[in-house]
Structure 1
Amino acid sequence: MMEMHDLCAMAAREARCVLATAVKVEGHAYRKQGVSMLLTEEGVMYGSISPGCLESDLQARVGRVLDTEQLEFVEYDMRPADDLSWGETIGCGGLIIVLLEPVCGELRSILSHMHTYFQSGSTVELTRSFCNHYTRVHYVIKLAEDAENRTSLRPFLIAKEGGAGKKTESVSDEEHENHYFDFTWHMDEKDGPKKAIEASQDPINTMVTVDTPRFSLVVIDPSESAAVASDSGESDLQRGGSTEAERWDIPPQISTRYVPKPRLIIVGAGNDVIPVASLGKSAGFRVVVADWRETLCTPERFPGVELVRGFPREIIPVLDIQGGDYIVLMSHQFPREREFLELVEDRNYAYLGIMGSRTRTARLLNDLPPMKHVHSPVGLTIGADGPEEIAISIAAELIACKRAASAEERRNVQRGIAHASDGHRASGR
């Protein structure tokens, strides 16, 4: 499952693509309201909105959306009364309204800024405001206002020769706190849309706002295909589509909160770490591998993973460990892991998994203050044998703790995951 964090990164790599977002969901559906996916002109799909029943139809619309640079609403009514018109592939039973947005310069800028914030560990709120009878949409992104998400920008980390790490495309804290950029479309009958860019000061929030030109509104009957969409040049919205928007009860302003992917920091770069890093990426973590052995900590061994090289005292300042981070010690080097634990004993984090027996872990923790969120032996007890199965058990425990943390945030209730082996809990030792 791809998060918005991933989609923002993919949008930067794809020259022509469309962002599809479920802006209204009623009844049973595969994914929740607010979920997005990315569709490219070449037919590549990133993420999903349904188990496969909608994506082909959405893909058929990509070319027109990109050519016209107009947005479209598409209705998919898959409630039981209409199942037969969808055939045997239907996997949902609800009503889903999908907004298709061409990733042009302005939306591309929005997604780029969102990715920067995600990389910093910041939660982002994206607001779409429709106006002029749904003929215009105005975008605003800003950092979430809760204090826990007001963090300094964390750079994308990648190992460099002979060093602990380096920053790439990072923004200073002063820039992060004090600036936002305003991108607004101005419609011109002869020359088309023109963009005005204004840099402003805002001591409270960092935000980016965007206006886009008129879009077309398409209502799709389940028995019809995308090919029947209007090609007349007169938009469906001009023919009364705003009435359809009102019928759907789409609010004039839609705000969606997106959280960054949690970081999984693995200390160690041995062969047994490779499947853990791979599964961690698949499970929705932003994976960082840290090790002092340069021959092991390489992009060839860990493709698509952030790398930090150095001893514990060198990497701790670079990692900038924070409350939402998940840490797994897998270096099999007792002195280095002990040094690492001494350096993080006063820091906040979400999870600390330690590879090895309970006896070894007890020696590692000896004479240290009680450590938070300890899981040892790391991983759920599933009878795992070999590095691949052990990696699965670790990934399963990481997912369980991540879900528990999400539930705790929603319900504001203390809860933890009981470890299957030794009774350590996600809420503390």
Structure 2
Amino acid sequence: MEMHDLCAIAAGEARCVLATAVKVEGHAYRKQGVSMLLTEDGRMYGSISPGCLESDLQARVKRVLDTEHIAFAEYDMRPEDDLSWGETIGCGGLVVVLLEPVCGELRTVLTEMHACFESGSAAELTRYFQNKHSRVQYGWNRVKPIDRKLESALCLSLVTKGKKSAEAEFWNLPVRITAMYTPKPRLIIVGAGNDAIPVARLAKAAGFRVIVADWREGLCTSERFPNAHLVLGFPSEIMSVLDIHRGDYLILMSHQFPREREFLELLSGSEYAYLGIMGSKTRTARLLNELPPLPHLHSPVGLSIGADGPEEIAISIASELVACKRAALTENRLAQRGNTRATNGHSACSR
């Protein structure tokens, strides 16, 4: 679950705690910088481990909320003879988790960051630790619309300065943590037929903001697509509303040849990350006839897994979307590593 989701959930929870892995060594289930949300009544959103750490974190929630003070929890699974954590987590690493009550300044910051994500911008969150890591102040900045290849990325920069508590010294924790979060990528599905329903559902679960566009009022409804943003209209009417960017993912699956041809003509010259077209190669060739080359084209849409029927086809499409998203993220990480300047500390990148 991305920070985009956690900010939205926190807005509806009166008493909850944000848990963030601020130190990871060895082979751990999740990477440094990943967060989850825990509520006072026992609900959990997101994960830091396969499930073995979360119950212990949940047991700490009430104290963090009652005191309104941050806390740290250490889970050391590195010893080979560790039978308490090592067997269940299946990794053998060290994880230090920061627990923060979502109240006051942090609640305000998360609310503002959510509005930032919804507008399509990235956000940079900085934690400033004080009084030997017993208090924290927050600062955040909107990052102007960026190269959407950064989608779903979290880049965590740790800077070591000043005095630390004994525990912080032992873990080598910094006094300032800066993390950049980006909004979830958009998936625009053109076509609201029955076969689009499982695609929208799986894409939502895979971390996409789903938009369904169609000109047929009886199909493009919230009852059929409860977790999607709906855009009603013909291609010429919806293009300005969609405002397609280079990080967007597009799928044509209306099965209406003239409308899809019109959409592709209007799409020419636009930048985007992915274009999938439902149908045979012959049909796609006809759709593209005499059009300028369209980049990032996937047709037939979906991975070749021998899928049969709407649900299996939806799985193949969602799998291809995730594969392309992760490939772009990896490419961006490699580029970042090549451009990273040396700092007085250490850094890590994660989801």
The residue that corresponds to 2:321 in the other structure is 398
CA shift for structure 1 position 259: 1.8
CA shift for structure 1 position 359: 1.1
For structure 1, list consecutive stretches of 5 or more residues without a partner in the other structure.
150-239, 414-429
Using structure 1 for the length normalisation, give the TM-score: 0.72
Q: Is the 8 A contact 1:17 1:66 kept in 2?
A: yes
The residue that corresponds to 1:357 in the other structure is 280
User: Is 1:43 equivalent to 2:55 in the alignment?
Assistant: no
Using structure 2 for the length normalisation, give the TM-score: 0.88
Q: Is the 8 A contact 2:8 2:114 kept in 1?
A: yes
Structure 2 residue corresponding to 1:284, chosen from 207, 224, 229: 207
Paired with 2:69 and 2:129, the residues of 1 have a C-alpha distance of: 14
Paired with 1:87 and 1:126, the residues of 2 have a C-alpha distance of: 32
The residue that corresponds to 2:305 in the other structure is 382
Q: Aligned ranges for residues 326-365 of structure 1 at < 5 Å?
A: 326-365=249-288
CA shift for structure 1 position 91: 2.7
Higher mean C-alpha displacement, 110-119 vs 56-65: 110-119
CA shift for structure 1 position 389: 0.6
Change (3 A) 1:363 1:37: same
Query: The residue matched to 2:82 in structure 1 has which SS?
Result: helix
The residue that corresponds to 2:153 in the other structure is none
User: Is 1:307 equivalent to 2:230 in the alignment?
Assistant: yes
CA shift for structure 1 position 316: 0.9
Change (3 A) 1:147 1:28: closer
In structure 2, give the amino acid aligned to 1:370: P
Change (3 A) 1:87 1:368: closer
User: Is 1:80 equivalent to 2:75 in the alignment?
Assistant: no
Aligned length: 322
In structure 1, give the amino acid aligned to 2:279: G
The residue that corresponds to 2:14 in the other structure is 15
State the identity as a percent.
Answer: 74
The residue that corresponds to 1:67 in the other structure is 66
- Structure with larger Rg: 1
The residue that corresponds to 2:90 in the other structure is 91
* Superposition RMSD in Å: 1.8
Which deviations, in whole Å up to 9, do the C-alpha atoms of 1:196-233 show, x marking residues without a partner?
xxxxxxxxxxxxxxxxxxxxxxxxxxxxxxxxxxxxxx
Q: Aligned ranges for residues 22-421 of structure 1 at < 5 Å?
A: 22-81=21-80, 83-86=82-85, 88-144=87-143, 148=147, 242-412=165-335
Which deviations, in whole Å up to 9, do the C-alpha atoms of 1:380-424 show, x marking residues without a partner?
1111110001101111111111111112212239xxxxxxxxxxx
CA shift for structure 1 position 69: 0.9
Change (3 A) 1:294 1:407: same
Query: The residue matched to 1:256 in structure 2 has which SS?
Result: strand
Query: The residue matched to 1:328 in structure 2 has which SS?
Result: strand
- Runs ≥4 residues deviating over 6 A: none
Paired with 2:81 and 2:71, the residues of 1 have a C-alpha distance of: 22
Higher mean C-alpha displacement, 341-350 vs 241-250: 241-250
CA shift for structure 1 position 133: 2.4
With a CA cutoff of 8 Å and minimum separation of 6, indicate the structure with the bigger relative contact order: 2
